């Protein structure tokens, strides 16, 4: 019990999510800022894919940023550091 949550409760939550007609996952900065943040985010992504909760109305993965301007910029493809062409690649 590393997280403080019993294994049985984690399994039950995963089963409820898997059996839901529609399931969406929303997470904030806490997931990505853990010691194993990438693995934690990938676990959520894998759970959504394995249970079919991607690509249908009312489903999906929704990582929320810590600041609204960063979220809006990312949603609108306006973050220069996350687009295919950055100032470093322009010569």
Euclidean distance between CA atoms 76 and 84, whole angstroms: 14
Q: Residue 66 above 50 pLDDT?
A: yes
Euclidean distance between CA atoms 59 and 48, whole angstroms: 8
Q: Which helix (H) or strand (E) holds 62?
A: strand 60-63
Whether 30 contacts 36, CB under 8 Å: no
Convert the pLDDT of each residue in 21-32 to its tens digit.
Answer: 999 999 887 887
Whether 81 contacts 52, CB under 8 Å: no
Euclidean distance between CA atoms 79 and 82, whole angstroms: 6
Q: Residue 35 above 70 pLDDT?
A: yes
């Amino acid at each position: 019990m590393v997280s403080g949550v019993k294994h049985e409760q984690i399994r039950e939550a995963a089963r409820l999510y898997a059996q839901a007609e529609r399931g969406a996952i929303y997470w904030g900065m806490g997931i990505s800022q853990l010691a194993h943040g990438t693995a934690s985010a990938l676990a959520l992504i894998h759970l959504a894919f394995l249970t079919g909760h991607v690509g249908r109305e009312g489903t999906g993965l929704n990582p929320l940023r810590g600041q609204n301007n960063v979220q809006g910029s990312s949603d609108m493809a306006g973050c220069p550091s996350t687009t295919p062409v950055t100032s470093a690649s322009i010569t």
